[in-house]
């Protein structure tokens, strides 16, 4: 994708995805699919936002839950206590999360020894501290939770479900475009240098402190905005549900699965992980979801640390063909239930194919070519 054409591609994708609510009214497919896509966009925004910091600069963070919580409670408090318009509250949630990130970064990034596991533990501690503050502050939560009434969407955004879909799509597209732009910029090269060796990067003239503060603030802002919108979807906000470890663990898993070294990796990870989670949750076998996703994480760490994106790029057509064949077989024989469940099973088989090592894949390819050549020789002899 050329730099000058990238905005046009993102705009085209946005327009196509933006037509989905209109297609729903024309084709009459269930609103569930709109809600499902909302959650896909939400997790894409969260995973990409986390990866902008951790994947690009190497500073591993467990603080996603804290910045997500700031966005959620900003939206809840402004609507419930001060009768704010939710569209005005969206950027405020991002700004407050960014200010928290800047405050943390100003202290932490000046101390070189606070990197790696120390930085990760510190950001995790911020999550616990914020949860305690919110729980014991009556003007925010007070331990009773915040119940948001029905939010009236503007007329130009349609129904509530359509509004949530459109806004989450816009946030996700902006987040992915920012990640893409950083990845191919001089700023991105500086972050990659920090990730590889910060001392060497500084010796080469990279303003490491400024770069780290900038990328941290961008990451926190995007997490906060996405969290603020998600507050409307939750409806009833509690400290336990908001500051739980589910959000940071999920975004880490999504990024690790997809690939932290590339801007598009977390997008793939978010789509796969949420599709699997939704499938097994609907089937009331969430324990199986935890087993499969946990096993995937173990396998990725042991055998495929770069994530599936790089292998998917090298084996795109075989992988895409396998996905379509498995999906078509399920549709033809009526197995797998819903389309989303069938897609999830096809994804699992495709991931298993991608887990084959490069050497194993090369041997498999040579074997197939040999059999094809032998068959052609046999036909010519006849």
Cα angle at 299 between 192 and 58, to 5 degrees? 15
- Residue 364's pLDDT band, with cuts at 50, 70 and 90, is confident
- Residue 380's pLDDT band, with cuts at 50, 70 and 90, is low
Determine the average pLDDT of the residues in 233-262. Answer: 90
- Residue 1's pLDDT band, with cuts at 50, 70 and 90, is low
Q: Is the pLDDT of residue 140 over 80?
A: yes
- C-alpha to C-alpha distances, 83 to 77, 88, 125, 151, nearest whole angstrom: 9, 11, 32, 11
Q: How many CB atoms lie within 10 A of CB 345?
A: 18
143-183 tens-digit pLDDT: 888 888 777 888 888 889 999 999 999 999 999 999 999 99
Cα angle at 261 between 67 and 270, to 5 degrees? 55
Residue 237 — φ and ψ, nearest 5°? -100, 130
CA dihedral in degrees (73, 165, 277, 248; nearest 10)? -30
254-272 tens-digit pLDDT: 999 999 989 999 999 999 9
DSSP reduced 3-state for 39: helix
User: Cα separation of 379 and 345, whole Å?
Assistant: 37
Q: Where are the alpha helices (DSSP H) in the chain?
A: 6-18, 20-27, 32-57, 64-82, 86-108, 117-135, 160-183, 186-196, 198-203, 208-234, 239-242, 246-258, 265-282, 286-303, 308-314, 316-333, 339-354, 358-381
Find out whether 348 and 289 touch, Cβ atoms under 8 Å.
Answer: no
Which residues are registered as beta bridge partners of 146? Answer: 237
Q: What is the pTM of this model?
A: 0.93
End-to-end CA distance of the chain: 48
- Residue 285's pLDDT band, with cuts at 50, 70 and 90, is low
Q: Is the pLDDT of residue 372 over 70?
A: yes
Report the mean per-residue pLDDT for the chain. 88
DSSP reduced 3-state for 147: strand
The pLDDT assigned to 29 comes to 81
Find out whether 350 and 326 touch, Cβ atoms under 8 Å.
Answer: yes
Residue 265, CB-side half-sphere exposure with 13 Å CA sphere: 28
- Residue 319's pLDDT band, with cuts at 50, 70 and 90, is very high
- C-alpha to C-alpha distances, 167 to 42, 109, 185, nearest whole angstrom: 10, 33, 27
Find out whether 126 and 104 touch, Cβ atoms under 8 Å.
Answer: yes
108-137 tens-digit pLDDT: 888 766 777 888 888 999 999 999 999 998
172: CB partners within 8 A, 6+ apart: 41, 42, 44, 45, 48
Most confident of 241-245, 266-270, 288-292: 266-270
167: CB partners within 8 A, 6+ apart: 90, 157, 229
56-94 tens-digit pLDDT: 999 999 989 999 999 999 999 999 888 888 999 999 999
Q: Where are the alpha helices (DSSP H) in 184-305?
A: 186-196, 198-203, 208-234, 239-242, 246-258, 265-282, 286-303
The pLDDT assigned to 377 comes to 67
83: CB partners within 8 A, 6+ apart: none
Which residues are registered as beta bridge partners of 237? Answer: 146
Find out whether 126 and 63 touch, Cβ atoms under 8 Å.
Answer: yes
CA-based nearest residue to 319, from 329, 308, 333:
308
Find out whether 267 and 283 touch, Cβ atoms under 8 Å.
Answer: no
């Amino acid at each position: 994708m050329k730099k000058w054409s990238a905005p046009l591609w993102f705009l085209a994708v946005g327009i196509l995805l933006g037509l989905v609510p209109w297609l729903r009214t024309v084709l009459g497919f269930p609103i569930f699919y709109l809600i499902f896509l909302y959650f896909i966009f939400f997790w894409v925004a969260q995973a990409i936002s986390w990866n902008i910091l951790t994947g690009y600069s190497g500073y591993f963070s467990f603080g996603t839950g804290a910045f997500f919580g700031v966005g959620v409670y900003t939206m809840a408090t402004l609507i419930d206590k001060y009768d704010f318009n939710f569209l005005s509250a969206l950027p405020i949630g991002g700004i407050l999360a960014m200010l928290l990130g800047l405050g943390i970064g100003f202290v932490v990034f000046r101390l070189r020894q606070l990197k790696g596991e120390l930085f990760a533990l510190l950001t995790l501690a911020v999550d616990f501290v914020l949860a305690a503050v919110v729980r014991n502050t009556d003007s925010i939560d007070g331990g009773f939770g915040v119940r948001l009434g029905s939010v009236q969407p503007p007329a130009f955004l349609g129904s509530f479900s359509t509004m949530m879909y459109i806004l989450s799509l816009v946030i996700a597209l902006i987040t992915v475009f920012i990640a893409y732009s950083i990845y191919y910029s001089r700023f991105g090269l500086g972050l990659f240098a920090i990730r590889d060796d910060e001392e060497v990067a500084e010796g080469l003239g990279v303003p490491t402190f400024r770069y780290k503060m900038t990328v941290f603030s961008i990451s926190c802002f995007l997490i906060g905005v996405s969290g603020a919108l998600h507050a409307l979807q939750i409806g009833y906000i509690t400290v336990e549900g908001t500051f739980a470890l589910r959000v940071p663990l999920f975004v880490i898993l999504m990024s690790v699965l997809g690939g932290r070294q590339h801007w598009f990796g977390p997008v793939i990870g978010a789509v796969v992980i949420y599709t699997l989670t939704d499938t097994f949750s609907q089937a009331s076998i969430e324990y199986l979801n935890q087993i499969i996703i946990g096993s995937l994480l173990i396998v990725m760490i042991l055998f495929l640390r770069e994530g599936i994106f790089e292998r998917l790029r090298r084996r795109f057509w075989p992988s895409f063909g396998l996905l379509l064949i498995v999906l078509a077989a399920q549709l033809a024989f009526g197995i797998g239930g819903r389309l989303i469940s069938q897609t999830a099973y096809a994804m699992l088989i495709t991931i298993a194919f991608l887990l084959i090592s490069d050497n194993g894949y090369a041997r498999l390819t040579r074997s197939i070519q040999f059999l094809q050549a032998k068959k052609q020789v046999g036909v010519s002899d006849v």
